[in-house]
Structure 1
Amino acid sequence: MTNNVFLLENLPNEIIIELFKYLKARDLFQAFYNLNSRFNYLIQPLTHLTYSTNKNDNCTLSYPYIYTLIINTKIENKLKCFPNLHRIILDYVTDDLISQLNNHILPNLEYLSISHTVSPFYMPDLRAIIFSNTFPNLKYCYISRMTPPYTSREWTQSLSLRFLKVNDIDSSIYISILLACPNLYFLKFKLPIKSKIQSNIVLHTSLKRLIINMHYDEWPWDDSILEDYLLCVPNLEQFRICRSISIDLNAMDYFQYYDWLSKIISRHLLVLDRFTFDLRVKRPSGLIESISKSTDSILKTFIY
């Protein structure tokens, strides 16, 4: 080990830092921390250091320098042990954990992913934290489950949030998000039902990229519900919509005259640079050959 350390010390800082990226935080600190001042200096500012609660990474020496924390088991009053956290991935959430999510314990939080599978009875509290500027440096957020806020005044604003991904939402949550995140640049969400915007249109001029997943929407499609969604975001530069359909020959006849949202886009998205329409087709086995020929013809017509 001593000889290996000596050989490592002969390398320039850039190469040593690159080599450190291949080591887990526990192994890195156990092997190199406090060997000398140079290694300490190179280790402390590393931004790849990750701690996972189910990996039994109990090297407490690394805690003050952990950049990313992955929580997938119960964690007891421990967030304060990680003062340098910038990224948190929550695969397991409890009320006790939510009580620790505050700016005093996590002043540097920039990335928050909540992908837990536990019943989200505590989610209103979490959403209020996220969308009320509790973390003034938060730039990216993913939320696996959303339900409407209790009142339209429940959220204030999260001014730093720029990238947001959520799963199933409805029109009321969409409007609440636009109001709460005035500087949002990227938004991705699932719209599983025909949920028309009932309230007044909210104008959000900062949003540039939008992805709407409608893989579960009903047939025949009602594109009119999308009009108000797009009316809210006139400065979109990239728009992607994902849809799926269990198709038959009657549906293929419909596609012969479908405009692929061109009229709605031309009315409301005047600066759009890129539009992607992802279509997933589920075809009955007996119709594969005839539908395939018709689909090829339609797609050739649509490409422009």
Structure 2
Amino acid sequence: MSTTSLYRTRNKEETNVTILEHLPNEILLILFEYFNGIDLLQTFYDLNSHLNLLLYKQFQLYCFNFKSISKCTFDLICQQHLPFIANKVISLAFSDYRDTPKQMSLFFSYIPSLHRFTQLQSLTLSNIHSYDTVVQFLNECHYLYNLIHLTFYFYSFLTSSVDLQLIIDKIWSLPKLTYCHFDVRIERQPNFCLPTIISSSLKYLYLPHSKLQWNQVNRLFHYVPELKHLSILNEPSVVDNYILLPPPGLIKLNFYCPDKSIISKLDILLQNMSNLYYLHIRLKHSLINGYKWEQIIRIHLPKLKIFRLRMNKAFFNNPNIQLQRQVDKLINSFRSSFWINERQWFFRCFTWKKIIVLHSLCSTYNYHGCITPDFWQSTSPHDNQQQFHNEITSIDSETFLNELVSLNICLSNIDHLTIKLPINEKIWSIFSNFNRLHSLTVLSHTDTFQFELQILLDRAPHLRILRLGQDGSLPLHLSLFNYRNTSVRELNLIGCDYCFNEEECILFSHSSLGVQCEVLFIEVNNLLQQLKDRLSLTYVIIYNP
């Protein structure tokens, strides 16, 4: 860059800072609220003493989301900034995901206690694998007397035993906790246990993988008397005709039930839910007709305004059943005046591989799998097969695209796509755009198909994750070093079944994808440190053969 160009750049930056300086402090503080704390400090800190003073002394609403952040940035925030603004932080979100491993333990190595986070209102702990880390955070939570929002995601524990009762009771002891999302999956242990402490503050409770029988749900109600929203996974029980006795304030219920006998229990289960405003039910192994649902809603749910329903049942062991007739009969039961005119709730019913599925027509249902219905019906005059396919968001099957080629449809909402090279030319007419594509998996990669794959990459402006796979018997294809896409941040080359040597690692580090890559999955020959030094990686997963 020439001296003149450098001067102009600096002069422009100084002009922008000068413009900011002339804004009233009140405007600047409002502007700061639109930034994540990380971006806020990286953008405005150290521009001048005035902005530093605002950031450290006057701004009181810091929100830090450390998911997918680089370790360098995480270290900087925790060591240089958080000690000075801890009492101004209202939200913290941590993640021990593969691109930010042991982030929570690292946090405590910098900041041993949460006692200065007195204004913290929201805490998110994602992908926790360490029971000790969980206990450490919960032990520190007694300092967080303003905490109202807690989100937990445990996917596995490395220890053989977890004191779940201790975890639950510590959460229930938080004096102002209003919202709790508790998503726990522990190997060979229950995913939830009933608390022994009553929480008078909890109003929103989400237990998406906590299996509870209906009698346990009733006991749970005792420990959350102010509950308004509940989301649970029901476990089949031998207890029949169990009557739920919810708190009077319960207005929103969301549950998934795999119990085949739920048909005979629904009337009794819902008879005390007269204050429900929102009901979302997912039933597996059961199909309940519209006449029955209408009766339940009219008698027991007079205040219901939002009804979300999804039911499915497989008929693999009944080869003689006429699925189309069953679909016609089921969908017709949802065509009464109650559904169409009075409530204006519409439904779609279809068959797929000996399975009948019925669900509400609403934006909450997207088909993450590869589904091409064999037969379908809808109660909405505006619904059609194109609309059905607009709701497909993920294609994981390399053969699914071949099924779509024969159909005159267009897909526009795909966020994950798996393709096998060569690309069928009709793909460009099937996909109207790739603007939402976030993750792409490419199979059978070779140099021969570089041009057509690059065309796809050029049409995916928001692609973040790219996985490449090739036949293990083939040498490395050098086209890998020539691909371009400015948004890709995670690259997975394990599917190439190839071990990179030092020369290839150097070549990759200078490639377009290598320069911008933050998370890398690769097989190398003991080159971990060299690879990290050459690439600006958040995280690298090395497989040594």
- Give the secondary structure class of the aligned counterpart of 1:98: helix
The CA deviation at 1:12 is 4.7
- CA deviation after TM superposition for structure 1 residue 27, in Å: 3.8
Q: Does 1:204 align with 2:247?
A: yes
Amino acid at match of 2:132: D
- Relative to structure 2, which stretch is displaced further, 3-12 or 35-44? 35-44
* Alignment-mate amino acid for residue 335 of structure 2: K
Deviation track 1:230-265 (CA, whole Å, cap 9, x = no partner) reads 34544333333222448xxxx7xx84xx64344445
| Equivalent AA in structure 2 for residue 180 of structure 1 | Y
Quick one: distance in 2 between partners of 1:45 and 1:197?
53
1:97 partner letter: V
Shift of 1:200: 8.5
1:118 paired to 2:159: no
Quick check: 1:180 aligned with 2:200? no
1:155-166 aligned at under 5 Å gives the runs: 155-166=196-207
**In 2, distance between residues paired with 1:300 and 1:213?**
25
Of 147, 157, 172 in structure 2, the residue corresponding to residue 109 of structure 1 is: 147
Q: Deviations over 1:154-181 (max 9, x none)?
A: 5221111111111232224312321111
Once residues 273 and 295 of structure 1 are traced to their aligned partners in structure 2, the CA distance between those partners, rounded to angstroms, is 22
Q: What is the Cα deviation at residue 125 of structure 1?
A: 1.4
Look up the SS of the partner of 2:310 in the other structure.
Answer: strand
Change (3 A) 1:227 1:19: same
Q: Which residue in 2 is equivalent to 1:140? A: 179
Aligned-partner SS, 1:300: coil
8 A contact 1:241–1:277 mirrored in 2 = yes
For residues 162-203 of structure 1, the C-alpha deviation after alignment (integer angstroms, 9 at most, x for no partner) is 111112322243123211111111111121424647988645
3-state SS of the aligned residue for 2:282?
Answer: strand
Q: What is the CA deviation profile of residues 12-57 of structure 1, one whole-angstrom value per residue up to 9, with x for unaligned ones?
A: 556534543554423422443473266337862225x114265232
Q: Report the TM-score when normalising by structure 1.
A: 0.76
Cα deviation 1:81-103 (Å, max 9, x = unaligned):
64432111121153243233245
Counterpart Cα distance in 2 of 1:281 and 1:275: 20
* 1:95-115 superposed Cα distances (whole Å, 9 cap, x missing partner): 243233245322211111112
What SS does the corresponding residue of 2:249 show, helix, strand or coil?
coil
Q: Give secondary structure in 1 for the equivalent of 2:55.
A: helix
**Pair 234,292 (structure 1): closer, same or farther in 2 beyond 3 Å:** closer
Deviation at 1:212, TM superposition (A): 1.9
2:333 corresponds to which of 293, 298, 301: 298
Q: What does 1:188-267 correspond to in 2, within 5 Å?
A: 188-194=231-237, 196=239, 202=245, 204-214=247-257, 216-218=258-260, 221-231=261-271, 233-245=273-285, 255=289, 259-267=291-299
Q: Determine helix, strand or coil for the equivalent of 1:223.
A: helix
Deviations 1:104-160 (A, max 9, x none): 3222111111122014824321111222xx2111111111134333xxxx5221111
Please say if residues 89 and 119 of structure 2, whose CA atoms lie closer than 8 Å, have aligned partners that are also in contact: yes
CA distance in 2, matches of 1:27, 1:238: 37
Identify if the C-alpha distance between structure 1 residues 262 and 203 changes in structure 2 by more than 3 Å, giving closer, same or farther.
same
- The answer on whether the counterparts of 1:238 and 1:275 sit within 8 Å (CA) in structure 2 is yes
Give the aligned CA root-mean-square deviation in angstroms: 3.6
Aligned partner letter, 2:143: I
Identity between Structure 1 and Structure 2 (%):
21
Q: Which residue identity lines up with residue 304 of structure 2 in the other structure?
A: D
TM-score of the superposed pair, with normalisation by structure 2: 0.45
Give the distance between the partners of 2:58 and 2:283, measured in 1 at CA: 47
- Which has more radius of gyration? 2
Measure the CA separation in 2 of the matches of 1:276 and 1:260: 14
Aligned to 1:95: 132
Query: 1:143 corresponds to which letter in structure 2?
Result: F
Q: Which amino acid aligns with 1:26?
A: I
Structure 2 gaps of 5+ residues are 1-12, 97-101, 185-190, 343-545
Q: Matched residue of 1:97: which SS?
A: helix
* SS of alignment partner, residue 253 of structure 2: strand
Contact 1:141-1:161 within 8 A present in 2 as well: yes
- Per the TM alignment, residue 69 of structure 1 is displaced from its structure 2 partner at its CA by 1.7
Count of aligned positions: 285
Cα deviation for residue 282 of structure 1 reads 6.1
